């Protein structure tokens, strides 16, 4: 199961997830000023970061919004990046946060688990309920794919609905209970399920509550670094079983900014991943 491969990476290489939320302004000038297409500039940037980090991170998360914003050229780079990660036997998480009725969810499953945009894991938004999630499950079962469902997101606005009280529980706990029920059939040898949850690393109290309540869940944790999440706080959610991957995007892929911008720019990303890994692991001892 894909979750076992991911967990093996977490243990062997650490829980860092490198967020390839690439924007043109992040790309060093020597690439940006070349005569290459936008597709190739983005891909060259991503490839360099992947090559410099694949032995020290667990997986890569691509925020598709950054690629959609650049239109067809952006999505060509997105596709090429996913294929490159696969060619290196790396693990990709497509951060697409899709949600739709069953017939459209089937199309999204095809879009992101097959063909041009094939990835290992995708993120999904639960607001539309169970039948908006079930179409993805045949891929989890038969095609070695995985899902992270939004539970408690890292942003300030996550309190607007996710923290509303339903039967004396917060809405996100209700969502977490549904995720648990969906995930129970897809548990791998690691003891974790290929259906996990997105929980932002920015909410100190919520992370402790969530870990107490959902101690066997595997988490995709955004919010470290640029968004304000600290390793100490996030360690409460990971726990001794290191039940998750911690994403950082800007902190890693813009690490070269203000420094040397030459062909070795991605070495700064590598250093940042190693620092971040150390910062997290020291709280888990």
Calculate helix-pair angle for 38-53, 266-281, nearest 10 degrees. Answer: 40
Binding of residue 38 to its own copies (CB under 8 A): no
Phi then psi dihedrals of residue 60, to 5 deg? -120, 135
Question: What is the rounded distance in angstroms from the CA atom of residue 89 to the CA atom of residue 1?
Answer: 14
- In the bound state with its own copies, the residue whose beta carbon lies nearer, of 102 and 264, is 102
Question: What is the rounded distance in angstroms from the CA atom of residue 1 to the CA atom of residue 195?
Answer: 11
Give the total of residues touching its own copies (CB under 8 A).
Answer: 60
**Only segment of 44-52, 84-92, 110-118, 256-264 that touches its own copies (CB under 8 A):** 110-118
List the catalytic residue out of 13, 47, 86, 97.
Answer: 97
Binding of residue 182 to its own copies (CB under 8 A): no
Question: What is the rounded distance in angstroms from the CA atom of residue 58 to the CA atom of residue 214?
Answer: 22
- Enter the DSSP assignment of 174: H
Binding of residue 203 to its own copies (CB under 8 A): no
Binding of residue 157 to its own copies (CB under 8 A): yes
Binding of residue 115 to its own copies (CB under 8 A): yes
Binding of residue 110 to its own copies (CB under 8 A): yes
**29 exposed, middle or buried (CB, 10 Å; 0-12, 13-18, 19+)?**
exposed
Binding of residue 83 to its own copies (CB under 8 A): no
206 contact partners, CB below 8 Å, separation of at least 6: 152, 172, 199
Binding of residue 86 to its own copies (CB under 8 A): no
Question: Is 152 a catalytic site residue?
Answer: no
Tell me which residues touch its own copies (CB under 8 A): 21, 23, 63, 65-66, 68-72, 75-76, 79, 95, 97-102, 104-105, 107-108, 110-112, 115-117, 125-133, 150, 153-162, 164-167, 171, 174-175, 178, 222, 227
Which amino acids are annotated catalytic? Answer: 97
């Amino acid at each position: 199961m894909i979750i076992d491969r991911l967990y093996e990476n977490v243990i062997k290489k650490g829980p860092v997830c490198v967020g390839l939320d690439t924007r043109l302004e992040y790309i060093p000038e020597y690439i940006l000023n070349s005569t290459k297409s936008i597709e190739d500039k983005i891909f060259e940037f991503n490839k360099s970061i992947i090559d410099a980090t694949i032995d020290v991170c667990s997986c890569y998360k691509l925020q598709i919004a950054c690629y959609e914003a650049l239109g067809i050229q952006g999505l060509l780079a997105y596709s090429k990046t996913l294929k490159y990660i696969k060619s290196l036997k790396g693990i990709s998480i497509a951060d697409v946060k899709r949600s739709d009725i069953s017939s459209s969810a089937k199309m999204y499953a095809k879009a992101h688990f097959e063909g041009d945009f094939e990835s290992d894991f995708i993120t999904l938004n639960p607001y539309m309920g169970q039948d908006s999630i079930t179409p993805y499950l045949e891929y989890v079962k038969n095609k070695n794919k995985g899902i992270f469902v939004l539970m408690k997101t890292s942003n300030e606005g996550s309190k607007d609905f996710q923290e509303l009280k339903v039967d004396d529980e917060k809405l996100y706990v209700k969502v977490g209970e549904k995720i648990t029920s969906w995930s129970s059939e897809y548990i791998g040898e690691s003891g974790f399920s290929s259906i996990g949850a997105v929980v932002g690393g920015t909410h100190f109290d919520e992370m402790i509550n969530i870990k107490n309540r959902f101690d066997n869940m595997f988490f995709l944790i955004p919010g470290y670094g640029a968004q304000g999440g600290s390793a100490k706080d996030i360690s409460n959610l990971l726990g001794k079983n290191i039940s998750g991957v911690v994403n950082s995007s800007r902190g890693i892929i813009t690490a070269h900014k203000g420094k040397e911008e030459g062909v070795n720019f991605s070495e700064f990303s590598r250093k940042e991943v190693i620092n971040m890994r150390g910062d997290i692991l020291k709280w888990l001892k």
